[in-house]
Amino acid sequence: MMREELVNYMNKLHEVKNMMYIAVGSILLFTISDTLPIICVLLPLLFVLPIYISAVNYWLCIRKISSYLVVFHESYEDCPIHWESRNNMLKKIGIREKENFSKSTFSNIPTQLYPYYTCASMTITVYFLQLYKYAIKEMKLHSSINFLMISIDGIKVYIHIIIGVVIIIF
């Protein structure tokens, strides 16, 4: 049952990733048009963040189940020490369980989450490129206007830049 659950979580992890690709791609294609406000280019981030959180949750479940299977169901012929003995030995040596858990559970998460970082950075890049395109178009119409004082969709460019930087930091 545990292995079936492990495979189920791995399938859900891939489904969530594919769902993110479809959502981000379709929203980016929809928002690149000139008729929508430029702030709509940031809409894919509303999908990336919750999907990212659920992917982290699935990955942690995969790690916990696989750790359980390794500890309790796989036999080691060259290591006759059982789980309780190993746990007692760690306490005697002075290794804190918290450090051991953080190293084993969280060490491989970043490599699994690169697609989410890539989609988020791609969305921000498209946002800044769209912002630049609109600003250049306005500067050609009004050559005496300053870049930061250009108004796009009723909002100044510097406010759009601040929004983009705040989202990058977040």
CB 58 within 8 A of CB 12: yes
- The predicted-structure confidence for 133-154, as pLDDT tens digits, reads as follows 888 887 787 777 777 777 777 7
Residue with the two structure tokens 């609109």? 134
Count, in order, helices (H) and strands (E) of the chain.
7, 2
The Cβ of residue 65 has, within 10 Å, a number of other Cβ atoms equal to: 18
Q: Is the pLDDT of residue 103 over 80?
A: no
Tokens linked to 62: 């995969």
Q: Is the pLDDT of residue 101 over 50?
A: no
CA-closest candidate to residue 52, choices 123, 3, 128: 123
- The predicted-structure confidence for 31-69, as pLDDT tens digits, reads as follows 777 777 888 888 888 888 888 888 888 888 887 877 776
Residues facing 156 on adjacent strands: 151
Over range 151-165, report the average pLDDT. Answer: 82
